[in-house]
Amino acid sequence: MTNGTKQSTHIPLAGKPRPAGGELHIRQRDRQENLGAVSVTDWCDWKWQFRNRVRSLEKLALALERPVASLAPCRPVIRSYPLAITPYYLSLLDPADEKDPLRRQCFPDPRELSFSLGEMTDPLGEERTMLVPGLIHRYPDRCLAIVTGDCAV
């Protein structure tokens, strides 16, 4: 409160009013239903989520209720960078909003295959400190083991 008036906590997202909590919950529930019949126990199990990641454009198109042809420009991207989105994470993004931050984070984008001048293939210089594949030894008293190439998202 300032000068006896209540301050608004409304923060617009991408120029649109922010949906109320109940509306967000309904949208997420509807997207979960698009992903198929799943028990609450399975839905809340991280192992089930990991096993059931969306890994193909066909399944992604089905989950987003879009024609597969509309995702065709993404096919070369997933050949280089495999697609793997958990059902839960997929239920959070807004398939209709191309500027949705979560969608932009996990949705294949053909621009990922273009390299700009100044970009590096190894920006952290890990290759020169990787004496054996999967083991980065940058400092004399410690190393980092790369145990998987998969991201849980």
DSSP per residue, the chain: -BTTBPPP----BTTBPPPPHHHHHHHHHHHHHHT----HHHHT-HHHHHHT-B-SHHHHHHHHT--GGGGGGGHHHHHHS---B-HHHHHHS-TT-TT-HHHHHHS--GGGG---TT--SSTT--GGGEEETTEEEEETTEEEE---S----
Q: Where are the domains of the chain?
A: 21-112, 122-153
Would the pTM of this model clear 0.85, i.e. be above it?
no
Per-residue pLDDT of the chain (153 residues), as tens digits, is: 444 544 433 333 344 444 555 555 555 566 556 566 778 888 889 999 999 899 999 988 888 888 999 889 999 999 988 889 998 888 888 888 888 898 888 888 898 888 777 777 788 888 889 989 889 998 889 998 988 877 666
